[in-house]
A and B are shown apart, each in its own frame.
Chain A
Amino acid sequence: MSIYALIVLLPLIGAFIAGFFGRSIGDRASQIVTCAGMAGALILSIMVFVQVALGGDAFTIRLFTWVISGDFVVDWALRFDTLTAVMLIVVNGVSTMVHVYSIGYMSHDDAKPRFMAYLSLFTFFMLMLVTADNLLQLFFGWEGVGLASYLLIGFWYHKDSANAAAMKAFIVNRVGDVGFALGIMAIFFLFGTVSFDEIFARAPEMVGQQFSFIGIEADALTIAAILLFIGAMGKSAQFMLHTWLPDAMEGPTPVSALIHAATMVTAGVFLVCRMSPLFEYAPLALDIVAFVGATTAIFAATVGLTQFDIKRVIAYSTCSQLGYMFFAAGVSAYGAAMFHLFTHAFFKALLFLGAGAVIHAMSDEQDMRKMGGIWKKIPITYAMMWIGSLALAGVPFFAGMYSKDIVIEAAYAAHSTIGQYAFWMGVIAAFLTAFYSWRLIIMTFHGKPRASAEVMSHIHESPNVMLIPLYVLAVGAVFSGYLGYGYFVGDEREAFWGASLFVLNDTIEAAHHVPLWVKLLPIVVGLVGIGFAYVCYMFFPIIPAISSSLFGPIYRFFYNKWYFDELYDRIFVKPSLYLGFGFWKAGDGNLIDGVGPDGVAGLTKDLSGWVSRLQSGYLYHYAFVMLVGVVIFITWYLLTLAG
C-alpha cells in the first residue's frame, strides 16, 4: 500500500475526528485537524500530479476486494492516471482553500466542527469518486458526495428553505442516479465486469451489439452511455435536471464554492471523460451530450442575466459553464472539457468565495439590489471579483480565455450539425456571460449605496484567513490557463493524458486549425458584453428597466428560469403529492385502516352494541333464545351427522 492512499484517507480521518470528537476537542482543534488533513492530501496530490501527469507514470493501488458474488467481483482500488491527477489537484486544491476560508467565514457559527467534518467528508467521497478503479466504487463516491451535498446544503437546518433545498438537491439527483445505476447494470450486463480496464479494453468489440431496453431493441453501447450520461446530467445540473443547483445556494457560501462550483458538479464531466473509450463508440450518445451541454450553456446564461441574488447569478453561471464542458466532451474534445473544468474550478471558486466575502461584509445580504457603492470599502474583495470575472468572461490572458476558446473552437472544428449548434450557442452564451458578470460587478460594487446606513457602517474587509485563499485562487484564475494550455490541449497533450483519455477523431487538433474569426469571435463578444454591461448599468441605468418592460414576456420567461420549477411542480411534484395524498387518505386511511384495523374495530364495537341490545332484560326473550339454541343444535346434528 502506497503512501498515496493517504490522499483519500486523510480527509476521512479529519472528518472522523472533527465529526465524532469535535465537541470534546473544540472548534479550533477541529479546524486544525481538518485543514491539516487537507493540506497533507494537497501536497501528496501535487506529488502524484508531478509523477503521473508530468512524468507519465500512471499506477493503481489495490486496497482489498470489496464484493465477490458469482461473476461479480469488485475491488477497492485507487487508480492514479492523469485524469485522476488533474481532478486531485482541483479537488484538493479548492477544498484546502475552502477549508481555510471557512475558518473565517463560519466564525460566527455555533457548529464549526460539524461544518468542517462535513467538508472533509465531502472531500473524501469526492476523492473516492475520482480515484475509482471501477464503476461501483465510483458510484460509492458519487452517492457519497450526494449525501455530503445534502448535509451541507441543509447545514442551517433551522431554515425551512435550506431543508427544502437539501431535499430538492437529493431528490433531483436521485433521478439522475437511477440512470447512472441502470447504466452500471447495463455495462455489467454487456461486459460482465465493472472494472474500467476491462471495459475499456473490450469496448470496441461491443460496437453494434444490440439489446432490448424497455421494449426497444437498441444499440447497447449507446443505451449504456446515455444512461451514464443521465447520471452525469443530474450531478452536473444539466438542462432539465438543473433545478436543484440554484436552490443549493441555501448552503453556506464555502459549500457553494467547493461543491456547487469546483468539484461535485464537475463529476458528471469527469464521468464522461473517464468513460471516453465507451462514449467514443457511441456517437449518438456523444451527440446527445453535446446537444444537452450547448442547450444548458445558453439556457443558464439567459437566466443568469435576470437574477438578483448574487449567489444565484454565479450558480447559473456555473450551470452554463458546465454546459460548455459537456459540449466539449460531446464533440470528443475531452482534453478541452477537462481544461475548462480545471480553470473553471479556480475562477468560479474565486468568484464564490469573493461573493461570500461580500455577503459576509454586507451582514449576510445576498440581494444585489440592496448593495452598490461598496467597492472602495472592500477593495481587495473587489479586485478579486474582477479577476474572477475577467477569467470567466474569457478576457485575453486570463485562464478562462484559453479554456473557453478551445472549447468553442473544438465545437466549430467538429464540422457537424450538433457542433455548429454548440458553437453558436457557446458564442452567444460567451456574450451573455460577460454581460451578466459585469452586471454583477456593477450592481454589487458601484452606483449609489442601496443598503441601510447601519449595514453600510459595518462593511469591512474580510480577515486574512479568508483573503489568503482568495489570493491563491486568483493566482490560479490568472495563470492556470496559460500554464495548462500546452499540457491539456496543446502539443504536449498526448504525452500528458497518456491512456487516460481516448479519442477516435482528434477534434482538438482540428480546433487548432480553425479560421481566425472563429478564434477571435469569443474574445470579441466577451469584450462587447463587458462594454454593453457598462452602458446598461453604469452609464444609462434606465436601459435595463426599459428593456425589461419592453420585452416583458421574454424578461419574465428568463427571470422565472424558463418556468422549469413551475413546470416540474405541475408535472411531477403536484401529481406525486396528489397520488401520495390519494394513497394515504384513500388507500391507507380508508382502505387499509378503514377496512383493516379501524374497520374491524368499528365492526366489533357495532356488534358489541348490537349484542348488548339483545340483552333486553325480558325473561321470555331469554327463554326463547335458549329454546331456539336447543332447536338449532338438534337441527344441526340431524342435518350434518344423522342425515
Chain B
Amino acid sequence: MLISDIQTVLPEIFLAVVGMGLLIYGVFIGDKSMRQVSWLTVFALITAAAMLYVFGSTGEPEIAMNGLFISDAFAHYAKLFILLGAALAVVMSVDFMEREQIIRFEFPILILYASLGMMMMVSANDLMSLYIALELQSLPLYVVASIRRDSLRSTEAGLKYFVLGALSSGMLLYGCSMIYGFTGSTNFDAIAAAVAAGGVSTGLVIGIVFLMAGLAFKVSAAPFHMWTPDVYEGAPTPVTALFAVAPKIAAIALFSRVMISPFGEAIEAWQQVVILISILSMALGSIAAIAQTNIKRLMAYSSIGHMGFALVGLAAGTETGIRGVMIYMAIYLFMNVGTFAIILSMRQQGRMVEGINDLAGLSKTSPGMALALTIFMFSMAGIPPLAGFFSKLYVFSAAIEAGLVTLAILGVIASVIGAFYYLRIIKVMYFDAPVEPIDDDMPRETKAIMAVTAFVTLFFFIWPSPIVDGAAQAASVLFGG
C-alpha cells in the first residue's frame, strides 16, 4: 500500500479508527456516555467530510488499493451528503433516545460504521469492494433497526430487514458472479473494457439484472421495496430518519456508478429495467401512500416514490441525467431531514404519536412547526418555487432530452397523484380542529435543523449553484470528462 493510497482513503481510515476509539471509550464509561459519544461521532463525521476536501480537493479520479477504491468528485459529492445526513440523524437522535430510554452508546458508533460503509460504497471500483462496502453499511443498520430490543415492532423490523437484506445480498452476489463469469474480471474498468470489446451477452445481462435487484433493494425501489414501510414504521424514529436519507444517497450513488462506469456501454441492457423500476416506484409511492394513516409509513412510501423520480434521471443514462439524480438526492436530504425533525417532535403529553390525524390543528398550536412542515410538503409535492420542484425539473428535463418522454409524462402524473397526500397533511394541519395539541418542546438542535432545512428548501432557487454545480461536476467525472 502506497502513501498516496492512504491519503486517498484517509477519511475512511480516520472514521474507522475514531469508531474503534469511541467504542473503547464507551465500553469504559458505559451507557451514560451516549451523549458524549454521539457528539463525538457527529464531530468525527464532520471532520471526515472536511478531510474529503482537504485531501481530495481536485476531484480528479484517484484509484487506490489496487483498483478497489476510487475517489473522485462524484464520490466526494455523494459522501458529503451522506456524512451530512448521518450527522444530522445522530444530532436529532440524542434527545429522542434519552427521552425514550434507549440509552446505548453503541448507537452512534453503529451509525458511524454504517456511514463508513456508505462512503466505501460510493467509492467502490470493484465488485468485491462493492459487496464488502454494502455489507459494512447493512449490518450496523440491521442492528440499529432493532436497537429497541424490548419492542416487538422494532425487533420485527430489524429481523425483516436482515432476512430480506440477506436475500438481496444473495441476488447481488449471484449477479456479481455472473458478471465475473462473462467478463472475466471484477474490476469496473476491466469490466467496462470487456463490455466495450465483447459486447453484451445474455449471461452478462442476467448478471446485471441480478446486480440491479440487489441495488434496487438498497434504494427501496419497487418491486424490491416491500421491507421499507414495515421497517420505517417499526424502527425508532431517528433510525427511520437515517434510513430515509444517508443510505438512500449512498445506494443511488452506487447504483449510478455501477450502471455508468462498468456498464455505460451496455445501456440498452439496463435502461429498460431502470425505466420499469422507476415507473413502478413512482406509481407505487404515489398510490399506496394515499391509504396510509401513519406518518412514518407515509414517509416510507414517499421515499419509494422519490427514489422512482431519482431513477428517472438514471434511466436517461446521460450526464444531465446523473446530474439530475445528484441534485435530486441533495434536495431530498434537506426535505426529508426537515420532515423527520418534525416527526421526531410529534408528542402529545410526552407520548410519541405517529398518526397523520394527530397533526390536526397544528397551525394553531405550533404555527412555526406547521409552517416548516408545509414548506417540506409543498416541496415534496413539487410545487414551485420550492426546491422539490427543481429536483423534479432536472430529472424530467434530462429524461425528455434523452427521448424518454413517456417516462417523464408518467412521472408528472405520479407526482400529481402524490401531491394529494402531501397536501392532505397541510389540510389536516390548517383546516382540521385540533383534538390534542402537539407538545411544544422541540429540542434546540432539532429546531435549528428544522429551520435550516426549511430555509434551504424554501430559498434553494435563489442560490442553487452550490448544489447544481457540484452535481454537474460529479456527473461529468463519472462520464470521464
**A residues adjacent to B (C-beta < 8 A):** 604-605, 607-609, 611-612, 615, 617, 619, 621-623, 625-626, 628-630, 633-634, 636-638, 640-642
Complex Cα–Cα for A608 and B420 (A): 12
Is there contact, CB below 8 Å, between A641 and B167?
A: no
Q: Which residues of B contact A625 (CB under 8 A)?
A: 223-224, 226
Whether a CB of chain A sits under 8 angstroms from the CB of B47 is no
Given A626-B164, A636-B272, 12 more A-B residue pairs with CB atoms under 8 Å apart are A604-B287, A605-B291, A611-B284, A617-B230, A619-B164, A622-B160, A626-B171, A626-B226, A636-B276, A637-B205, A637-B209, A637-B272
Is there contact, CB below 8 Å, between A637 and B291?
A: no
Is there contact, CB below 8 Å, between A636 and B273?
A: yes
Q: Which of B192-223 contact A (CB under 8 A)?
A: 202, 205-206, 209-210, 212-213, 217, 222-223
In this complex, the member of B210, B273, B420 whose beta carbon has the largest number of chain A beta carbons within 10 angstroms is B273
Q: Which of B201-258 contact A (CB under 8 A)?
A: 202, 205-206, 209-210, 212-213, 217, 222-224, 226-227, 229-230
Is there contact, CB below 8 Å, between A621 and B226?
A: yes
Q: Which residues of B contact A609 (CB under 8 A)?
A: 291
Whether a CB of chain A sits under 8 angstroms from the CB of B292 is yes
Is there contact, CB below 8 Å, between B226 and A615?
A: yes
Complex Cα–Cα for A139 and B219 (A): 71
Q: Give the Cβ gap from A325 to chain B, nearest Cβ, in Å.
A: 64
Q: Which of B278-292 contact A (CB under 8 A)?
A: 284, 287-292
Q: Which residues of A contact B202 (CB under 8 A)?
A: 638, 642
**Pick the contact of A626 from B167, B269, B289 — CB < 8 Å?**
B167
Q: Which residues of A contact B290 (CB under 8 A)?
A: 604-605, 608
In this complex, the member of B164, B168, B291 whose beta carbon has the largest number of chain A beta carbons within 10 angstroms is B291
Q: Which residues of A contact B289 (CB under 8 A)?
A: 608
Binary contact track B58-83/A, C-beta < 8 Å → 1, others 0: 00000000000000000000000000
Q: Is the interface of A mostly helix, strand, loop or mixed?
A: helix
Complex Cα–Cα for A628 and B288 (A): 20
Binary contact track B254-272/A, C-beta < 8 Å → 1, others 0: 0000000000000011001
Give 10 closest A-B pairs by Cβ, nearest first.
A629-B223, A622-B226, A608-B290, A608-B291, A611-B288, A612-B291, A630-B213, A608-B287, A607-B287, A633-B273
Is there contact, CB below 8 Å, between B168 and A626?
A: yes
Interchain Cβ contacts under 8 Å between A and B, 16 examples: A611-B287, A615-B230, A621-B226, A625-B226, A626-B171, A626-B224, A629-B213, A629-B222, A629-B223, A630-B171, A630-B210, A634-B209, A636-B273, A640-B272, A641-B205, A642-B202
Q: Which residues of B contact A623 (CB under 8 A)?
A: 163-164, 167
Complex Cα–Cα for A605 and B420 (A): 11
Q: Give the Cβ gap from A54 to chain B, nearest Cβ, in Å.
A: 74
Whether a CB of chain A sits under 8 angstroms from the CB of B477 is no
Q: Which residues of A contact B420 (CB under 8 A)?
A: 604
Complex Cα–Cα for A634 and B207 (A): 10
Complex Cα–Cα for A638 and B205 (A): 9
Is there contact, CB below 8 Å, between B276 and A615?
A: no
Whether a CB of chain A sits under 8 angstroms from the CB of B97 is no
Q: Which residues of A contact B224 (CB under 8 A)?
A: 625-626, 629
In this complex, the member of A608, A619, A621 whose beta carbon has the largest number of chain B beta carbons within 10 angstroms is A608
Chain B residue nearest in CB terms to A609: B291
Q: Which residues of A contact B164 (CB under 8 A)?
A: 619, 622-623, 626
Is there contact, CB below 8 Å, between B273 and A612?
A: no
**Pick the contact of B160 from A607, A619, A630, A637 — CB < 8 Å?**
A619
**Pick the contact of A604 from B171, B213, B273, B417 — CB < 8 Å?**
B417
Is there contact, CB below 8 Å, between A641 and B272?
A: yes
Complex Cα–Cα for A630 and B272 (A): 13
Q: Give the Cβ gap from A61 to chain B, nearest Cβ, in Å.
A: 57
Chain A residue nearest in CB terms to B213: A630
Chain A residue nearest in CB terms to B202: A642
Complex Cα–Cα for A630 and B217 (A): 11
Complex Cα–Cα for A637 and B272 (A): 8
Is there contact, CB below 8 Å, between B213 and A633?
A: yes
Q: Which residues of B contact A626 (CB under 8 A)?
A: 164, 167-168, 171, 213, 217, 223-224, 226
Q: Which residues of A contact B160 (CB under 8 A)?
A: 619, 622
Q: Which residues of A contact B268 (CB under 8 A)?
A: 641
Q: Give the Cβ gap from B234 to chain A, nearest Cβ, in Å.
A: 10
Chain A residue nearest in CB terms to B421: A608
Chain A residue nearest in CB terms to B292: A612
Complex Cα–Cα for A633 and B168 (A): 15
Complex Cα–Cα for A607 and B223 (A): 16
Q: Which residues of A contact B210 (CB under 8 A)?
A: 630
Binary contact track B157-199/A, C-beta < 8 Å → 1, others 0: 0001001100110010000000000000000000000000000
Q: Which residues of B contact A612 (CB under 8 A)?
A: 288, 291-292
Q: Which residues of A contact B272 (CB under 8 A)?
A: 636-637, 640-641
Is there contact, CB below 8 Å, between B417 and A619?
A: no
Q: Give the Cβ gap from B158 to chain A, nearest Cβ, in Å.
A: 12
**Pick the contact of A619 from B163, B273, B292 — CB < 8 Å?**
B163
Complex Cα–Cα for A554 and B407 (A): 76
Q: Give the Cβ gap from A200 to chain B, nearest Cβ, in Å.
A: 62
Complex Cα–Cα for A607 and B414 (A): 13
Complex Cα–Cα for A637 and B209 (A): 9
Q: Give the Cβ gap from A363 to chain B, nearest Cβ, in Å.
A: 52
Is there contact, CB below 8 Å, between A633 and B167?
A: no
Complex Cα–Cα for A609 and B273 (A): 26
Q: Give the Cβ gap from B314 to chain A, nearest Cβ, in Å.
A: 15
Complex Cα–Cα for A630 and B170 (A): 12
Complex Cα–Cα for A199 and B465 (A): 72
Q: Give the Cβ gap from B145 to chain A, nearest Cβ, in Å.
A: 14
Q: Give the Cβ gap from B53 to chain A, nearest Cβ, in Å.
A: 39
Chain A residue nearest in CB terms to B271: A641
Q: Which residues of A contact B229 (CB under 8 A)?
A: 615
Q: Give the Cβ gap from B371 to chain A, nearest Cβ, in Å.
A: 28
Q: Give the Cβ gap from B357 to chain A, nearest Cβ, in Å.
A: 17
Chain A residue nearest in CB terms to B280: A629
Q: Which residues of A contact B168 (CB under 8 A)?
A: 626
Chain A residue nearest in CB terms to B212: A633
Q: Give the Cβ gap from A632 to chain B, nearest Cβ, in Å.
A: 8
Is there contact, CB below 8 Å, between A634 and B291?
A: no
Q: Give the Cβ gap from B79 to chain A, nearest Cβ, in Å.
A: 29
Q: Give the Cβ gap from B432 to chain A, nearest Cβ, in Å.
A: 19
Binary contact track B296-317/A, C-beta < 8 Å → 1, others 0: 0000000000000000000000
Complex Cα–Cα for A626 and B215 (A): 12
Q: Which residues of B contact A607 (CB under 8 A)?
A: 287
Q: Give the Cβ gap from A630 to chain B, nearest Cβ, in Å.
A: 5
